[in-house]
Chain A
Amino acid sequence: MTGLGSLVRLALRRSRWFYLAWVLALTSVVPLTAAAYEQIVDPGNADLLIATMTNNPTMRAMLGPPVDLTSAGGFTVWRVGTFVAAMSGIMAVLGVVRSTRAEEEDGRTELLRSGATGRHAPLVAGVLVTLLACAALGVAVAASMTAVGEPVAGSVAFGAGLALVGATFAGVGAVAAQLTASARTAKALGLWTSPRHTP
């Protein structure tokens, strides 16, 4: 693992805008959905609307059975949770491949490996930085849910769930990068494995 610190810093430097864009875009969906709930569901029509949404077979087919639509948090997790989780997986696959297989394909890893770096350090650095981005997504989601007035425990559980889905697919991306010779194939393989049933 010689040289890991330098490689992590390099991967962060290389991909900071990539991860920042993903995390911001995915996080913004969450409080926007929670805010929309407050607008469409007012106390007068809440019961009727919730019953309609719960029993609508199309919505159930797309989003799964809702757990609790009486709160904005429960509604948000039901409406966009799967989508954001799937997207965090895609972010992780693309992110890991980007800083491992793609770098090697372009001949930059060779230059790094000619310095005092361990054989596995570039892969570990790429995975670590992606895990960091997944954690950042989790924290940002938990914070934004708390900020719109949802209970802390549920918000943290939602954020942690998203981060862990991302982390799982960081692993998928790492394996895909090892199995393939080109970054394109690695991304295709990783995404093929990713959750595809997104609304």
Chain B
Amino acid sequence: MTATIVTFGISKGGCSKSTSSGITSYLLSQEERVLAIDMDGQGNLTSFLTGEYDICNVFEEKTVLEAIIEGDARPYIIRIQENLDLIPSNDFLATLPRHMYSKGLKLNALQKTLEPVMKDYDWIIIDTPPSLSEQTILPLSTYSEGGSHVVIMFDGSMFAYYAIPKFIEMVEGAKERYNPNLNTAGILFSLIDSRAKENEVMLESIEEDHPNLKFDTIIKRKASTRRLPIAGFDGNPELKNALEYYIPFVKELKERVEQKQPQG
């Protein structure tokens, strides 16, 4: 069986896509083999998992950009820890559309890039930028026999509320043209301020607009979670506290994904 792909996305920044994809990768890797892929040129997932912030120099020509251009992910996979690998990114990912045009690559380019390693992992977790672009559409267009799923991040804001249908349009477009088994696993609430009075209205609105898509788990912002990129996972005394809301989310994600696994 090939890896199950989970892409984190939303057409608005600051909704915890990188944090959520990083923590999800870490938690899944406790029991299964995980490949995390950073498709955002900001490289926050890369920095989060590696602890390296000088990404342009450290990962120069060793990123997902070069992997896609060459059509082979293998030379660009780096080991984070047992069961957890990463294909990093840096700012040069901004040149991806230009390279794709000049090389005549299509929107299934990431799928071709990942094909040699699809069976090496149980999960492929992909972080995307908050935009309609190749960096977002390529992961959505990546087919896997093991299933391809999307987690839509939502921070409770009006901007994110109106970004959800836009992102769903991207998902539908990719599903129609490249990835027929693409499935929206759910909408994950990651609330900046859990006390904000409009949250309840937003919750109801999302339930009405997108029935049964909202994850039961709600990620509430915690200082310990915010400190994870500083303290890291290993030997972090507040790790349990930092992951408090993500542990039930990952459990829920696995349940939803397993229900959608192709039969036979």
Do the two chains belong together in a single complex?
A: no
